[in-house]
Chains A and B, each alone.
Chain A
């Protein structure tokens, strides 16, 4: 199989930078080694989709549009009525659902190549993200496990709080370089390290 070409490959070589005080208070990592798809119901088939996809081994589809549902290594966000974004380290189950899902109940669209995922981590992560994201990231409002579809640098992104000082961004692939350039520029005063995470379960 031809080798995958990560769109940030060239940009990650630039390395990190020291901040104003000479330290590096943030880490900006690209996550690799995962699969992503959208699983969708049609009008009135949400329950059927839940049953069928579950029977085929898909994770439980959440009803909450604010919290990520985690099941094993799989993570599912409810993007809207009948629309779910499903991330997993392997795509065997996704492929099975794509093949065998009752076409009257719903559909599955592979999107693994359509998004780039970043992890932003560090005590100043929220303060850093607030340079560009117009969402209240206070833990009482945006707790660990919460996600939101929002905008960063004019680009639609999906933001998830993965830990107290850890956030994940999903960015459309074709915008990823511009968002990365924005992130590294905004991170400059804080200082940052960059890297790639390929650990399963990310």
Chain B
């Protein structure tokens, strides 16, 4: 092809009145509305559109649609740039910036084209054979060079400024593909009353009809069909929507694209979106893709699928050649040849078959097509553009025909991919030389070219039948049969393409992966017999086009070498076309990546200097700025506050469950290791529950508020799990127990008032309510109403200090919190955060969720074995006795005091006995660390083999990631107030 303009003066489905300007590598160009990037470039006479993946051979467009393997572009600027987009699928829009790929320094002048000269060294298996040695790990050396040389486009490094979305949709009948069969199916199902969604990846509905001249009579049928669909209120036609994948339960992933080139993200306009559509029935009307022929240098720019040349001519009014050679083995090639010839091209048809029907001959003759039957195209001549085609005649004579366009029509491959995503293997039909859908499950139907029916009338008949069947499957019947008498019912015959090995040059089976017949030959000679293995060894079908034009030719080549007919196929997997990562992510980016759970007191914390940290899904105050500007200083000040006066902390994230019923006591006895049924009203008890395997599930407290009403708290980390556990037991194991469990985590704000002055703080805050030690002893609970707000007050301590937990309805939480702060201000009360909370409990030796409670430790490991009741049964009781869980050498809870004053202990440090080799998993690890404001040193909790049997021993805490070793002494995990004098004060 020359660089002259190729736009025909009339025709096409384009709007010539709307000029669209765009750039190619900065060079300004113009197209018109309705163009794709591909059609616009071709209209501008640009036929060199990229360099091939491996050999850097000059390439032009092979196709005009989704099958395009060569013309991949980077489209967009800066962070918006998207690499590897087939130009055939890029709608032209004003200001579009495109650049060609894989040229060093440019596609026009590519130094890496030297690879083509080195191709004898670069055949199939080259990497496997060459880069695995000489030393183990050599690949790591080679990889950086190979990575630099390989690949096509380059992904941008900045955050994508565009908006992407995900959606859900439902339909009675989903029809995939809006060609003749799909239009007919949608109409039939819609007229039967079904809710129908018809999706089409193209910008227009019509499928193969769009490649015909809009002036021809079939256009009326297309328009009538679309009008009929528009009149059906329950039918939705979605263009620019690609069915990417089929999943269980007739769930289909759809990729929608904006019609705007640069959608307005600031106003929420998405560039792409994924729709998860659940359909009760599906009709696959996905059409078929024309196959190339395999001959020497069949990848030269100007060598193109015949159907693509026809589409460019009729849809986009781009004439690509004046002298055209078209090689074929099927009837479709003849029709395309006639169509192109009628458009003014001087056309020579090389037909592989020795004889064809008189009707075809007559059609060719009428259109002025010169025909050579029994011939085979053997070579394309030219470098950056085809100049001639060489073919061998039936008598074996080589003939060279000058041409500026060489078209290939090697038969049609049914698009069976989607139907086979769920594992339904396609089957080979020799009469049409194509795979067709395998045995589709109930509720799935195929119609038209996708089903191997290539005549227009046949496709429509099948579409109607499939649409009706799909509607019936979903409970709708009685659709009328459409009149299709006017549609041509032309038969389609094909002879499998002859694939002669090239005498010189490369004959490509897979254009995008640069897989030639020679590569298939190597695979064959090396003993590969399965198509799946051929695919992996040669990369045939593994590129972004997923072998849409290459699979069958590759299979046929291998079959021919093995002396068999084509059989088996590779496994098709979603997505059907490449898609952006952005579409996969949708809105799940930034703050929407996952929801955050906020305490009812969150707004107060925000307004009062809290610095937040994530604790599971929760955002919790880490520390407060009143105590310092860094966590290191602030949490120590907050610890001092609690140890010396009084502090208040937000504990709303604790799991909270209300239990009701006459049998709650019995239920809790079975769930917890200790006894609860004897608990008096107004009292609370600490409890531990085990998993079935006797590892600790969670700990917490449970208060008996009334005879049949209990209030249970869990750790923050295990709240959901405990609730599920209780529900599971009540609904499956003990359905006879009269117990209801209701999560009230969201109902109540919780606050812990802790410190030696905490009782005084509550007395100030709750005047008139007796919170004395007599009225509210340790592990006591009260329900009171203060200023109209119902409160639960429990005397519990996590810090080891005298402490109270106050629970208020969530919407009154801030008011109650502020009220306590105001009332107790004379005592110096201040808020303290999670870091201080967690550090205070380490000093007291309390275990905590996620750190010490990791579902691997037993009651005894944590030093809680004495809690287990011997008077009643509980979950985990029997398995707790397993020898492995009773072994004295199990890792169990210890306290650690740092012995190196200039060093610190680290969470996760591996513990070794003095004299051990510092290697491997050691004898345990540190679970929690803090600076003790009471002891003035770093302390830690940890799990150590043999536990407190080693009390007093000096050990090594190793942190290999930082190369640190710190000495520590094993001590009791209760660092302060072992007698409990503080909390009983």
Distance in angstroms between the alpha carbons of A18 and B742 in the assembled complex: 41
**Residues of A contacting B: mostly:** loop
CB distance from B463 to the nearest CB of A (A): 24
Distance in angstroms between the alpha carbons of A113 and B750 in the assembled complex: 13
Contact B809 A112 (CB under 8 A): yes
Given contacts A19-B267, A154-B594, A186-B587, contact A131 B166 (CB under 8 A): yes
Chain B 21-58: CB-based contact to A (< 8 A → 1; otherwise 0): 00000000000000000000000000000000000000
Chain B residues closer than 8 Å to A112, beta-carbon distance: 747, 809, 811
Selected contact of A134 from candidates B276, B809, B815, CB within 8 Å: B276
Distance in angstroms between the alpha carbons of A18 and B592 in the assembled complex: 21
Cβ contacts A to B, 20 pairs, < 8 Å: A3-B815, A5-B811, A7-B603, A43-B735, A43-B738, A83-B740, A107-B661, A112-B809, A113-B747, A113-B811, A131-B166, A140-B195, A173-B746, A174-B597, A174-B598, A174-B746, A175-B597, A175-B598, A182-B592, A188-B268
Contact A114 B661 (CB under 8 A): no
Interface residues, chain A, CB within 8 Å of chain B? 1-7, 9-10, 17-20, 38, 40-43, 45, 82-83, 103-104, 106-107, 109-115, 130-136, 138, 140-141, 153-155, 172-175, 177-179, 181-182, 185-190
Contact A7 B600 (CB under 8 A): yes
Distance in angstroms between the alpha carbons of A186 and B166 in the assembled complex: 10
Chain B residues closer than 8 Å to A187, beta-carbon distance: 268
**Residues of B contacting A: mostly:** mixed
Distance in angstroms between the alpha carbons of A134 and B722 in the assembled complex: 27
Contact B592 A181 (CB under 8 A): yes
User: In the complex, what residue of chain B is closest to A8 when comparing beta carbons?
Assistant: B603
Given contacts A43-B737, A189-B269, contact A172 B595 (CB under 8 A): no
Chain A residues closer than 8 Å to B166, beta-carbon distance: 131
B855 CB within 8 Å of chain A: no
Contact B595 A178 (CB under 8 A): yes
Contact B597 A40 (CB under 8 A): no
User: In the complex, what residue of chain A is closest to B599 when comparing beta carbons?
Assistant: A174
User: In the complex, what residue of chain A is closest to B818 when comparing beta carbons?
Assistant: A2
Within residues 734 to 760 of chain B, which ones have a CB less than 8 A from any CB in chain A? Answer: 735-740, 742, 744-748
B662 CB within 8 Å of chain A: yes
B611 CB within 8 Å of chain A: no
Contact A10 B738 (CB under 8 A): no
Chain B residues closer than 8 Å to A138, beta-carbon distance: 170, 195
Contact A130 B169 (CB under 8 A): yes
Contact A153 B595 (CB under 8 A): yes
B810 CB within 8 Å of chain A: yes
User: In the complex, what residue of chain B is closest to A98 when comparing beta carbons?
Assistant: B709
Selected contact of B603 from candidates A9, A19, A154, A173, CB within 8 Å: A9
CB distance from A92 to the nearest CB of B (A): 15
Chain B residues closer than 8 Å to A134, beta-carbon distance: 168, 276
B220 CB within 8 Å of chain A: no
Chain A residues closer than 8 Å to B789, beta-carbon distance: 1-2
Q: A5-B814, A133-B168, A182-B595 are in contact. List 5 more A-B contacts (CB 8 A).
A: A5-B600, A17-B268, A111-B744, A112-B809, A174-B599
Within residues 600 to 620 of chain B, which ones have a CB less than 8 A from any CB in chain A? Answer: 600, 602-603, 606, 618
| Residue picked from A2, A38, A181, A188, most chain B C-beta under 10 Å | A2
B882 CB within 8 Å of chain A: no
Chain A residues closer than 8 Å to B744, beta-carbon distance: 109, 111, 114
B167 CB within 8 Å of chain A: yes
Chain B residues closer than 8 Å to A114, beta-carbon distance: 744-747, 810
Chain B residues closer than 8 Å to A179, beta-carbon distance: 595
Distance in angstroms between the alpha carbons of A185 and B266 in the assembled complex: 11
CB distance from B466 to the nearest CB of A (A): 23
CB distance from A158 to the nearest CB of B (A): 13
Contact A189 B270 (CB under 8 A): yes
Chain A residues closer than 8 Å to B819, beta-carbon distance: 2
User: In the complex, what residue of chain B is closest to A115 when comparing beta carbons?
Assistant: B746
Selected contact of B597 from candidates A130, A140, A178, CB within 8 Å: A178
Contact A107 B709 (CB under 8 A): yes
Chain A residues closer than 8 Å to B597, beta-carbon distance: 174-175, 178
Chain B residues closer than 8 Å to A113, beta-carbon distance: 600, 746-748, 809-812
Top 8 A-B residue pairs of the complex, sorted by shortest distance between their CB atoms: A188-B268, A2-B815, A1-B788, A107-B660, A178-B595, A189-B268, A42-B738, A114-B747
Chain B 638-670: CB-based contact to A (< 8 A → 1; otherwise 0): 000000000000001000001011100000000
Selected contact of B742 from candidates A17, A40, A186, CB within 8 Å: A40
Chain B residues closer than 8 Å to A174, beta-carbon distance: 597-600, 618, 652, 745-746, 810
CB distance from A89 to the nearest CB of B (A): 16
B816 CB within 8 Å of chain A: yes
Contact A10 B168 (CB under 8 A): no
User: In the complex, what residue of chain A is closest to B731 when comparing beta carbons?
Assistant: A81
User: In the complex, what residue of chain B is closest to A45 when comparing beta carbons?
Assistant: B738
Contact A2 B812 (CB under 8 A): yes
Within residues 51 to 85 of chain B, which ones have a CB less than 8 A from any CB in chain A? Answer: none
Chain B residues closer than 8 Å to A111, beta-carbon distance: 742, 744, 746-747
B708 CB within 8 Å of chain A: yes
CB distance from B266 to the nearest CB of A (A): 9
B165 CB within 8 Å of chain A: yes
Chain B residues closer than 8 Å to A109, beta-carbon distance: 658, 660, 742, 744, 747
Distance in angstroms between the alpha carbons of A43 and B737 in the assembled complex: 7
CB distance from A22 to the nearest CB of B (A): 8
CB distance from B514 to the nearest CB of A (A): 42
CB distance from B255 to the nearest CB of A (A): 16
CB distance from A142 to the nearest CB of B (A): 10
Chain A residues closer than 8 Å to B917, beta-carbon distance: none
Distance in angstroms between the alpha carbons of A130 and B662 in the assembled complex: 43
B787 CB within 8 Å of chain A: yes
Contact B598 A18 (CB under 8 A): no
B154 CB within 8 Å of chain A: no
Selected contact of B168 from candidates A41, A106, A130, A178, CB within 8 Å: A130
Chain A residues closer than 8 Å to B596, beta-carbon distance: 177-178
B813 CB within 8 Å of chain A: yes
CB distance from B863 to the nearest CB of A (A): 33
CB distance from A63 to the nearest CB of B (A): 18
Chain B residues closer than 8 Å to A182, beta-carbon distance: 587, 592, 595
| Residue picked from A10, A82, A103, most chain B C-beta under 10 Å | A103
Distance in angstroms between the alpha carbons of A185 and B809 in the assembled complex: 29
CB distance from B573 to the nearest CB of A (A): 23
Contact B598 A153 (CB under 8 A): no
Chain A residues closer than 8 Å to B745, beta-carbon distance: 114, 174
Selected contact of A177 from candidates B195, B270, B598, B748, CB within 8 Å: B598
Contact A4 B812 (CB under 8 A): yes
User: In the complex, what residue of chain B is closest to A3 when comparing beta carbons?
Assistant: B815
User: In the complex, what residue of chain B is closest to A128 when comparing beta carbons?
Assistant: B167
User: In the complex, what residue of chain A is closest to B166 when comparing beta carbons?
Assistant: A131
B216 CB within 8 Å of chain A: no
Chain B residues closer than 8 Å to A19, beta-carbon distance: 267-268
B707 CB within 8 Å of chain A: yes
B357 CB within 8 Å of chain A: no
Contact B811 A6 (CB under 8 A): yes
B264 CB within 8 Å of chain A: yes
Chain A residues closer than 8 Å to B595, beta-carbon distance: 153-155, 175, 178-179, 182
Contact A103 B603 (CB under 8 A): no
B732 CB within 8 Å of chain A: no
User: In the complex, what residue of chain A is closest to B195 when comparing beta carbons?
Assistant: A138
Chain B 612-639: CB-based contact to A (< 8 A → 1; otherwise 0): 0000001000000000000000000000
Chain B residues closer than 8 Å to A3, beta-carbon distance: 815
CB distance from A166 to the nearest CB of B (A): 19
Distance in angstroms between the alpha carbons of A155 and B598 in the assembled complex: 13
Contact B708 A103 (CB under 8 A): yes
CB distance from B894 to the nearest CB of A (A): 36
Contact A2 B787 (CB under 8 A): yes
B591 CB within 8 Å of chain A: yes
Distance in angstroms between the alpha carbons of A110 and B709 in the assembled complex: 13
Distance in angstroms between the alpha carbons of A177 and B591 in the assembled complex: 11
Chain B 565-599: CB-based contact to A (< 8 A → 1; otherwise 0): 00000000000000000000001000110111111
Chain A residues closer than 8 Å to B165, beta-carbon distance: 131, 186
